[in-house]
Amino acid sequence: MKTKRGSGVKRCMFLRSGIIIQLIINLIAFSACSQNAGRHESSINPQKMAVNKTEEQWKKELTPLQYNVLRQKGTERPFTGEFDDFFEEGDYSCAACGALLFHSSAKYNSGCGWPAFFEPADSLNMLFKRDLSYGMVRTEVMCAQCGGHLGHVFDDGPKPTGVRYCINSVSMVFKPSGQKKSPE
C-alpha cells in the first residue's frame, strides 16, 4: 500500500497548529488567572493607614460577609444589599472604620443592583486602583482610612459628575440625618 508523502506532512502541520492553538488557550487562561490573583494585591501600605489592624482583628470585628467584601475584595449579589433600594436622608460611612463616604443627597437609583452615588462626601476618604479582574477594566474604590474594598467607580453616571460609584451595601453603615456621631 502506497502512501503519499505529502499526507504525512499535512498531518504534522495539523498537529503543530493544534499544539499552537492549545498553547494560545493556555496562555490566555494563565494570564486570566494572574489578573484574578492580582485583584487581591494592593499597593496600599497597611502601616500608613489611619486604621491599622491585623486580619485576625478584622475577622473578629466584621461579619463573614463584611470580611469577604471589605478585606478580601468580594462582592455581594446584585439587588440583595440593604441600601440598594434605600433612599432616606443621612450619611453612609465605612462599615470597617467609620470614615464618611457619601451623603444621601448624592445617591440615586442606577438600576445596577448596588447602591449608586454620583460623588463622594470627601474624596480624601477614598483610594482608587485599576482593577483588571474578571476580564474587565474597572477602577476599584477603597477606604483611605482602613484600606477596605468598597466597590467600583464607572464613567457612566448622571450629571453633574458623570460618574457612578457602585458600592457594596455591606461595606457601609447608614446614619440618619440628625443622629449624633458616636464618640470614637
pLDDT the model gives residue 24? 54
Percent of the chain, pLDDT > 90? 64
User: pLDDT higher for 78 or 12?
Assistant: 78
Does 21 have pLDDT greater than 70? Answer: no
The answer to whether 97 is a known catalytic residue is: no
pLDDT the model gives residue 107? 97
User: pLDDT higher for 113 or 51?
Assistant: 113
pLDDT the model gives residue 33? 28
Active-site annotation holder among 94, 97, 143, 166: 166
User: pLDDT higher for 170 or 47?
Assistant: 170
Per-residue cell: 169: 451595601
pLDDT the model gives residue 52? 82
pLDDT the model gives residue 25? 47
User: pLDDT higher for 43 or 166?
Assistant: 166
Domain 46-176 fold is 2.170.150
> Among the residues of 5-107, which ranges form H helices?
5-38, 55-61, 64-66
pLDDT the model gives residue 38? 29
Structural domain spans, the chain: 8-38, 46-176
Task: Summarize pLDDT for 58-84 with one digit per residue, the tens.
Answer: 999 999 999 999 999 999 999 999 999
Task: Summarize pLDDT for 124-168 with one digit per residue, the tens.
Answer: 999 999 999 889 999 999 999 999 999 999 999 999 999 999 999
Triad 112, 117, 122: Cα angle to 5°: 150
CA distance 96 to 109: 24
- The pTM assigned to this predicted structure is 0.71
Q: What is the dihedral of CA 5, 9, 14, 18, to 10 degrees?
A: 140
pLDDT the model gives residue 172? 98
pLDDT the model gives residue 18? 59
Strand partners, 175: 91
Q: Which three-class secondary structure state does DSSP give residue 100? A: strand
Average pLDDT for 77-97:
96
CA distance 67 to 95: 10
